[in-house]
């Protein structure tokens, strides 16, 4: 029988270190402990131990990634939580994680959640019935609020869950915390709709799919943004020329394509930010971003990014229960991504920026 013996360096005591340091150490040594456990299992398997061979290559096996990952379903099985260390290549000019990094982490933990409950790993997070009918999920809206950006080396804990949203969709919510002190540093929500992969038409969620998906969801609504009139509910108007700021002729790179051969959702965030005025980038940081996805973008498309100052912008926290900057320190913009050739809208968005604390 295989056991994971805890080596001395994995036993953390109070030892005079701060709670935040200990929490970060626990996250880091957990990786080392799991790596040692996996190494021991694989070594035993190589030596011919039947139980070990089963653990590595048989039956109800888990992948090496699953055993090393710092994430798991919570006890009730209705949400998933995972921790991430912010890497040096994930921070930007302010020496903190970029919003693209945050969005990528949200996407990663969402995919890992879907995988942990047995949905497919082909990039679509589909159920058995969905695959038979050629159905996939596509993003309809994404709303992210960041109250404090994590720095290089910080450990971020993200909890996510999904639930029903209307007849043709579902929603996924996230809460981000600083693992060192438990502080909520961000929240996010998204809406997804079901689409036929072949006809590209939206489709109602059938009872069979509903039974497969929503058994893993909270039975009563649980919202990352429970406040009335919060920013995630605010509509984004149709935008027309002229835009006050623009960046024209953006072309998808090969690295912008996801495993489904479409431009990744996170790439749109970067394109939106390309047309933000430089003086805003220099003096503010992004607090809130909302994106409505309206059309798919392919590798050979050319995209224009347009930014508008929002007239009569609301000097508020958009319904957030968390502290907002002083009204004079906030700026708000509307955005449109469109095809350069025919002008068709790909994406529309809203961003709220707060003054940088120097």
pLDDT score recorded for residue 61: 64
> Any residues with CB less than 8 A from the CB of 96 and at least 6 apart, and which?
149, 150, 151, 152
Q: Is 297 a catalytic residue?
A: yes
Does any domain span residue 267?
A: yes
Q: Which residue shows structure tokens 């935040």? A: 20
Q: Which of 33, 111, 245, 260 is catalytic?
A: 260
Considering the domain architecture, whether residues 107 and 222 belong to the same structural domain is answered as: yes
Domain endpoint, select from 175, 206, 232: 232
**Is 47 inside any structural domain?**
no
Domain that includes residue 165, residue range? 65-232
- Active site annotation includes 162: no
Q: Phi and psi for 308 in degrees, rounded to 5?
A: -125, 140
d(CA 197, CA 130): 10
Q: Are residues 205 and 115 in the same domain?
A: yes
Pair (218, 256) in one structural domain: no
82 & 226 share domain: yes
- Which stretches in the chain have pLDDT values below 70? 1-61, 121-124, 312-328, 358
The length of the chain, given as a count of residues? 358
Looking at 33, 111, 245, 262, which residue is catalytic?
A: 262
Q: Of 232, 262, 283, which closes a domain?
A: 232
Q: Do 220 and 259 fall within a single domain?
A: no
For position 138, what pLDDT does the model report?
87
pLDDT of 344 reads 95
Whether residues 228 and 281 share a domain: the answer is: no
What is the number of domains present in the chain? 2
195 occurs within a structural domain: yes
55: in domain: no
In the set 297, 318, 335, 336, the catalytic residue is 297
- pLDDT value at residue 51: 38
State the pLDDT at residue 180.
97
Q: How far apart are the C-alpha atoms of 197 and 137, rounded to whole Å?
A: 9
């Amino acid at each position: 029988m295989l056991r994971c013996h805890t080596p001395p360096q994995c036993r953390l005591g109070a030892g005079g270190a701060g709670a935040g340091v200990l929490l970060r150490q626990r996250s880091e040594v957990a990786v080392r402990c799991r790596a040692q456990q996996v190494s021991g299992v694989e070594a035993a398997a190589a030596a011919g131990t039947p139980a070990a061979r089963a653990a590595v290559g048989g039956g109800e096996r888990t992948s090496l990634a699953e055993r090393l990952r710092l994430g798991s379903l919570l006890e009730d099985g209705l949400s998933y939580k995972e921790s991430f260390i912010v890497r040096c290549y994930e921070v930007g000019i302010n020496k903190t994680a970029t919003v693209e990094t945050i969005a990528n982490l949200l996407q990663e933990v969402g995919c890992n959640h879907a995988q942990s409950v047995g949905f497919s790993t082909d990039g679509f997070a589909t159920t058995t019935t969905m695959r038979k009918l050629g159905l996939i999920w596509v993003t309809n809206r994404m709303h992210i609020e960041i109250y404090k950006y994590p720095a290089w080396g910080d450990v971020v804990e993200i909890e996510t869950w999904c639930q029903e949203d209307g007849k043709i969709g579902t929603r996924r919510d996230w809460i981000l915390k600083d693992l060192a002190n438990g502080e909520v540093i961000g929240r996010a929500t998204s809406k997804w709709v079901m689409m036929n992969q072949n006809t590209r038409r939206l489709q109602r969620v059938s009872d069979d799919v509903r039974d497969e998906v929503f058994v893993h969801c909270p039975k009563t609504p649980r919202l990352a943004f429970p406040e009335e009139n919060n920013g995630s509910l605010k509509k984004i108007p149709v935008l027309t020329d002229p835009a006050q700021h623009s960046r024209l002729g953006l072309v998808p790179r090969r690295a912008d394509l996801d495993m489904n051969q479409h431009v990744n959702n996170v790439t749109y965030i970067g394109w939106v930010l390309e047309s933000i005025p430089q003086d805003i980038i220099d003096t503010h940081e992004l607090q809130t971003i909302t994106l409505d996805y309206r059309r798919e973008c392919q590798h050979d498309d050319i995209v224009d990014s347009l930014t508008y100052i929002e007239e009569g912008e609301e000097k508020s926290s958009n319904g957030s229960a968390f502290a907002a900057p002083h009204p004079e320190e906030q700026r708000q913009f509307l955005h449109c991504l469109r095809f350069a050739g025919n002008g068709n809208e790909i994406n529309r968005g809203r961003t709220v920026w707060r003054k940088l604390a120097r």
